[in-house]
Structure 1
Amino acid sequence: MKKLAPIAAAAFLACGFAQAQTSSVQIFGLLDLNVGHYTGGGVSQTVLGTDGYQSSRLGFRGQEDLGGGLQASFWLESGINPDSGTGGTTNTNNQSTGGAGGGGIVFGRRSTVSLSGAFGELRLGRDYTPGFWNLSNFHPFGTNGVGSAGILFYPVQGGARITNVRASNSIGYFLPKMSSGIYGQAMYAIAENLSTSATRQDGRLVGIRLGYAGGPIDAAFGYSKTTLTPVGDFTQINLGGTYDFGMAKVFALWGQNKVGATKTKPWNIGVHVPVGAGVIRAAYGRVKTTGVANDAGQFTVGYLHNLSKRTALYTNFSAIDNKGTGTNYNVGAPVTVPGGNSRGYEAGIRHSF
């Protein structure tokens, strides 16, 4: 027995070491703060704001190798407001009644567990919708700051914005990485209402995204539809892409938001031009509306300077010209004058860890 004891101990330690090599947990995050100034409709506002270049966040993620090509993983990510120290928000049922958070840590940006392998990835929880990714990937300013794609590409109706970025209670599937360059995502978010409810399908989302990335080209089509009452079902459709010429990357994005009988049809073109350790960014877009808001145009220009792989300085300026007497688009301060214009600039720092 005395001879076997050291052998057993060594075997135990070896098993523990092997397990440590096949699993990992990471803490990660990003802080983005800026000084911004907005004007519109005769009013102005100066703020110490966040998310001018990327969204501030704190997260935990991990994975475990299960053998046979299978891998389990989790992802918990919370939005944070570093200007005030508060946490972000979430929505529990993809409906106007499900708002939650807004003080402490809430994992509203992403909260998922998944199983992946040669078949692709099956992911459960709160995640980004198929209709969102093109707005983030194929707009020169993504969905952050005064030049955000969300200004023209999100629905005007607040009650329909709940699932334009993320959905809770979702079942998602992602295609495996393919040598052909094809990628894709499908999602179904469950409506967790009683079967006897008159609005039992509210909060249900179905969506799909299919794209191709190869060489200098990346392009994709996205679609999501959420059942909502009384504001009306929300349908989000978009098509976008980039082409990298080396000395510049060009962006193009088209979309349509339909909420009940109303529509908005935005489009945007833009460019990234590398300059030493920095990037000049520029974008121009327009939105045409039916029965819900003004038509409008937006121009944005900015510069990002990388101090390191983790730290960058940035500055952006954006201007919106509204046409008509309906709802006005704005970059920050609300525009109270029908058909009024909106202007905004920001200068800040982004640090990731």
Structure 2
Amino acid sequence: MQKKLIAVAIAGLAAVPAFAADTSVTLYGLIDMGASWRGNNYDNATAARTGVDSGQMNGSRLGVRGSEEIMPGLKANFRFEAGIAADIGGSNQGTVSTGQKTTKVCTNAACTTTANAVTTEQTTNQRVWGRASWVGLQGDYAEMRLGRMYTPKFNMYADNIDPFGLGSVAETNNIFTHIVARADNAVYVTTPFFGNVFAVEAMYSTKTSGDEAAANAGDTRLIDIQPKLKFGPATFFVDYTQQNVHNATTKKGSVDAGVAADFKVVKATLAYARVKDETVAKVNGSTRGWDRWNVAGTVPMGNLSLLAQYSYSKDRNSLKEKAEQIGFGGLYSLSKRTTVYSVYSKINTDPSVKSGYEVADATNSGNGYRAGFNLGVRHTF
């Protein structure tokens, strides 16, 4: 009997490596730190700012990701990722609505009079895994995720259109302000490129930030659909996004089209966005809208990459407000995991534009400044 137990134990131990080979959990991170300068504020009384900032080109982070093979052709995946303010050793996640607390104030002991009042207050909590928090299933033909994650539109620009990866003071979304980075309470589906030609990403969020409210009152919902096509060195994208408050008649959204082509000696991208917003006041009876363009390029030269980008926005209403940004920079890989970078950007606007377009970077606000410079180092582990 004892020999049988020993044999079973040895067999169990022998089976562990096979099981472990199908399961993985990885601790990873990124630290981005550098010097920054910002000037040319909308408010002429506000002087330039210099500082040492975390998360300029990419947000500093610490994360855990994992995968388990359930059966051939089916895996379970998860990711938790927390933003870090490495310059001060703090969290970079902020607060989030976690629901509502309702209190009934009674004017008599029985709590029955019509004068009884009900008060509702929003409760908040500190985010922990604010960059990503999701679990999902992946098969041969599609992957589905549930939780908080990037939107398809953000992926389109960060991974394909913007050579700065929606980071640094030259990022596209300083002008393309309609890009929604992440959504809470989301269902996300993506496919591989079928026949290396066609793929699609889609997302639906029942509330883009915070827990859903009672009866979904005031919840901002989002839908984002993005088909993609590959032809030779070029990939074409069309993205439709719409946001609206639950049961509201007004909405806002955009249609974005882009192409990214890799010619080896140069990578070129072009994008156009038509933006519409019914949630803000009309101008001369017309719904607010903007046309936006972006053109960019990357020249790889061994360990060095030279980047340049031009972004433009024009108001379609009678205001005809315009804003443009030009940015350029360089990245140099010291090793597989360590890169140094330098980026400069400047925004020009019509005199009538007093806010809205500023030189933010991956995690730091532009605070009304229209010119900026980053010099830093990025290390991954």
1:4-43 to structure 2, matched below 5 A, reads 4-41=4-41, 42=44, 43=47
Give the TM-score normalised by the residue count of structure 2.
0.80
1:122-201 to structure 2, matched below 5 A, reads 122-136=144-158, 137-155=160-178, 164-191=180-207, 192-195=212-215, 199=217
CA distance in 2, matches of 1:126, 1:213: 28
CA distance in 1, matches of 2:249, 2:323: 23
Aligned Cα RMSD in Å?
2.5
- In structure 2, the partner of 1:263 is 289
CA distance in 1, matches of 2:149, 2:273: 21
**3-state DSSP of counterpart to 1:227:** strand
1:203-242 to structure 2, matched below 5 A, reads 203-213=220-230, 215-228=232-245, 233-242=251-260
Q: Does 1:47 align with 2:51?
A: yes
CA distance in 2, matches of 1:16, 1:30: 32
Q: Would you say the 8 A contact 1:63–1:72 is kept in 2?
A: yes
Deviations 1:249-271 (A, max 9, x none): 11111123322232232211111
- In structure 2, the partner of 1:319 is 346
CA distance in 1, matches of 2:289, 2:97: 26
Q: Would you say the 8 A contact 1:92–1:168 is kept in 2?
A: no
CA distance in 2, matches of 1:220, 1:174: 14
Q: Quote how far apart the aligned CAs of 1:307 are.
A: 0.3
Aligned partner of 1:299 among 326, 329, 345: 326
Q: Does 1:110 align with 2:132?
A: yes
Aligned partner of 1:246 among 257, 264, 268: 264
CA distance in 2, matches of 1:220, 1:285: 18
Which amino acid is 1:29 matched to? G
State the number of aligned residues: 333
Structure number, greater radius of gyration? 2
- In structure 1, the partner of 2:310 is 284
Deviations 1:104-133 (A, max 9, x none): x72111111011112411111111112222
**3-state DSSP of counterpart to 2:56:** coil
CA distance in 1, matches of 2:125, 2:293: 32
CA separation of 1:211 and 1:16: change in aligned 2, threshold 3 A: same
- In structure 2, the partner of 1:158 is none
**3-state DSSP of counterpart to 1:173:** strand
Q: Would you say the 8 A contact 1:32–1:351 is kept in 2?
A: yes
Which amino acid is 1:351 matched to? H
**3-state DSSP of counterpart to 2:220:** coil
Q: Quote how far apart the aligned CAs of 1:88 are.
A: 2.2
- In structure 2, the partner of 1:338 is none
Moved more, 32-41 or 47-56: 47-56
Unaligned runs of 5+ in 1: 156-160, 336-340
Q: Quote how far apart the aligned CAs of 1:318 are.
A: 0.7
**3-state DSSP of counterpart to 1:89:** coil
Q: Quote how far apart the aligned CAs of 1:14 are.
A: 2.4
**3-state DSSP of counterpart to 1:3:** helix
Q: Would you say the 8 A contact 1:34–1:49 is kept in 2?
A: yes
- In structure 1, the partner of 2:115 is none
Deviations 1:62-107 (A, max 9, x none): 000111311011111111111112212264589xx78753xxx721
**3-state DSSP of counterpart to 2:162:** coil
Moved more, 206-215 or 270-279: 206-215
The ranges of structure 1 where at least 4 consecutive aligned residues each deviate by more than 6 angstroms after the TM superposition are none
Give the TM-score normalised by the residue count of structure 1.
0.86
